[in-house]
Amino acid sequence: LGFDFDEPVRLFIQYWGGATMSLRLIVPPTGGQAKLYRKDVVGQLACRITGAGTLRKTVLKPVCLRASADWIPMTMATSIRTGSALDFSFLQDAPAGKYGFWRKGADGHGTFENLPGSRPRFFGGNFAWDSTLLEKDETDRVAAELVRLGYNWVRAHQCDTKFLPKGATDSAAIDPAILDRWDYFVYRMKASGIYFTTDCYSSRVFLPGEPELGAYAGEQRVMKSLLPFSRAAMENWKRFTRTLVCHVNPYTGLALKDEPACILLNLVNEENYEGCGKWTDRTRPLFAKAYEAWCAARGLAVGPLDAYDRQCRAFLDEVQARVLDEQLAFLRDELKVKCPLTSLNHCSGTDLVVRRGPFDVADLHMYWSHPATVGKVRCFSTVYESALASGNAGGQWRQQFFSRIWGKPVVTTETRFCWPNVFRSEAGPLVGAYAAFLDWDGVLGYGYAEGASDFRGRCWIGNPFDTANDPVSIANDRISILLYRRGDVKPAQTRVCVTVPRDVVARKSLPLEFPKPLAELGLLHATGSTAADAPSQGMLSIPLSATADEAALPADLRAAKAKERYESDTKEIVLDAKAGTLSVSTPRSETRSLSRGGLDGRFLRVLSVQGPSTVSVHALDGKPLERCGRAVMFHVTDSANDGETFEDATMKYLVAYGKGPVLIRRAVSRIRLPDGFAVTALHADGSPAGAVAPDADGAYSLDTGAFPGGVMAYEVLRKSQGEAR
């Protein structure tokens, strides 16, 4: 290959399709631990297979995105103009908690205890690390902005890592000054009509010298795998939780345990890696010893300590069940927490339908294009993968369609179509339309803010999960809010239930994952599961034992799979995987997501696009689109940071995140609207950028680079308001 090394190397070959592959070289340094060999971009070679079968090597050149004719600098908004077409404050119903606690209703969905029959839907984002611990004037400004954005729910996440007082000797201690900022954040959210949720543990670390815990000092998330074996860890969890939920917030006059604006409390975030907490090199021996004793007590041979081994899975489930029972009893019986409780919010195994049984709510995390790490390099292996394509239809929904548990409210406190991905314009309709169609109770993006710096003048996308400074993510959230929170998309007419036996782990004939042939059924009907022999009345039942047999699948699913065209039973959503398109058509909204060609609609006709794009239009006056007087229209492409750099054109290995300004991809989509409307381009703050005149043929050319500062939104006004009335 033309490289000489003094030590053995490991060679990784990745085949991308066609006639190309890439090679990555891993060189073990002194000490034996592998690392990625990098000297600038040397270390990745592209090899093309010729007809003679020989290899021609080329050192790949980095790709750096810069402001240009193809990438337009976007002027981000620090505040949305009140009353503009981008001001969604009309959706707000303040203060949060005014109708009492959120509870499971008779139909299994969430409802407010003092508003019988209500079906609230919650939509918002995560505030991670120190983004909930702002100065009070910053919190005021952020709360006002969230109202105009249309959020009514936030999650405080990873904030436990920021509570520790200086000089503390107990890792469960909370700094009173930090707690005051936290209290004010909860208060301002509540006053603004924004509900709240958080975790009792995310990532805080133990301190040196702590009895029984000091040996694990400084290791984030080690609590997860210590809880089954260490009383000290459990008592630490309880002390922190007691302080967090029992102290009285001076701004609201209520403790979190008595706060109706807190709609959900999670025990431990994503503790079900590897079946029962992600064990580390230092905690794995604890699992091994306990597993040996467990096997001996049952006269079983000790098998591999592997969560995918059924015997080990049964052991892990049993161990974790004891932890969860103690935590739930502590919160419900000792602390008297009034809001719903949940946990095990990661993964989608069939056994989790059983294991989530003790919780009040099912919380399901789901991601598309989530980054990975190769050595010390951030790897984005799905940067060119569409969630509308063959084999991927439904994207992040595919893994969780059947993890929903019938009879319980269902939410996702983390969902994301991660940046960078050239198809992210799909995310708004994909999340909003299917959340409404499946009739889920709440959707939280991960994240909104990844730290206080998101609100302090930073003008670039900080990481793959950043929403606050990403115009594409903001536009996608707005589309989702109208389709889902406002309720533009109707719930499914038919509900399908997979029945999962309670002893699913012990029955080797049954799968531990929901079979792939069933995955697309959630594109046609509302889907879920139950840990029982039979589902509730009025549902189509499919035993888990039948799900792997394609011939036993519902006839409409088999027909849809054959055509790769999936139409919801309400006729409002059509995902055409063969064409890679998504169409949503409701009385008040129409969206079209596509990469090429055009898509017709009754109100919005997309004639052509330049690359992956979403065009959507939404009535703002409560009338159907055909009779509306005012609407907002979005034209979403892609975004990047100026200076964002990848090793090569595959954009799979990030070299530098870059900085501001944020760029949006230049593209023109030609559309046609009914006669009688005027179109005005909008800046990111909702102020007018300029009128958009129709072309000679009466169509409109929506150009993201047509106005200084970039354009992704438009106001559509009927020229004669009398006609609208």
Query: In this predicted model, what pLDDT tens digit does every residue of 569-614 receive, in sequence order?
Result: 999 999 999 999 999 999 999 999 999 999 999 999 999 999 999 9
When pLDDT is cut at 50, 70 and 90, the band that residue 40 belongs to is very low
Tell me what the mean pLDDT of segment 132-144 comes to. Answer: 97
Q: What is the mean pLDDT of the chain?
A: 90
pLDDT at 53 over 80: no
Q: Are 387 and 368 in contact (CB under 8 A)?
A: yes
pLDDT at 54 over 90: no
Least confident of 38-47, 90-99, 218-227, 271-280: 38-47
Q: Of 448, 452, 373, give the one whose Cα is nearest residue 415.
A: 448
When pLDDT is cut at 50, 70 and 90, the band that residue 724 belongs to is very low
AA identity, residue 397: W
Higher pLDDT, 43 or 453: 453
42 contacts: CB under 8 Å, gap ≥ 6: 3, 59
Rounded CA separation 160/266 (Å)? 13
292 contacts: CB under 8 Å, gap ≥ 6: 302
pLDDT at res. 124: 98
pLDDT at res. 291: 95
pLDDT at 39 over 90: no
Rounded CA separation 529/259 (Å)? 31
When pLDDT is cut at 50, 70 and 90, the band that residue 725 belongs to is very low
Tell me what the mean pLDDT of segment 218-233 comes to. Answer: 94
Tell me what the mean pLDDT of segment 95-121 comes to. Answer: 96
Q: Report pLDDT digits (tens) over 160-217.
A: 999 999 999 999 999 999 999 999 999 999 999 999 999 999 999 999 999 999 999 9
Higher pLDDT, 53 or 547: 547
Give me the numbers of helices (H) and strands (E) for the chain, helices first please: 11, 39
pLDDT at res. 379: 82
**pLDDT above 70 as % of the chain:** 89
When pLDDT is cut at 50, 70 and 90, the band that residue 25 belongs to is low
**pLDDT above 90 as % of the chain:** 79
Rounded CA separation 686/715 (Å)? 9
pLDDT at res. 2: 45
What SS3 class is residue 35? strand
When pLDDT is cut at 50, 70 and 90, the band that residue 534 belongs to is confident
Name the DSSP letter for residue 348. Answer: -
pLDDT at res. 14: 56
Pairing of strands 410-417, 153-157: unpaired
pTM: 0.91
Rounded CA separation 307/314 (Å)? 9
Query: How many residues are listed for the chain in this entry?
Result: 725
When pLDDT is cut at 50, 70 and 90, the band that residue 551 belongs to is confident
Q: Report pLDDT digits (tens) over 490-510.
A: 999 999 999 999 999 999 999
Tell me what the mean pLDDT of segment 43-53 comes to. Answer: 37
pLDDT at 28 over 50: no
C-alpha dist (Å) from residue 672 to 94, 304, 597: 38, 62, 14
User: How do the residues of the chain divide into helix, strand and coil, expressed in percent and rounded to 5?
Assistant: 25, 25, 50
pLDDT at res. 721: 59
What SS3 class is residue 50? coil
Q: Report pLDDT digits (tens) over 630-688.
A: 999 999 999 999 999 998 888 888 889 999 899 999 999 999 999 999 999 999 999 99
pLDDT at 10 over 70: no
What SS3 class is residue 345? coil
352 contacts: CB under 8 Å, gap ≥ 6: 272, 344, 403
Rounded CA separation 616/594 (Å)? 12
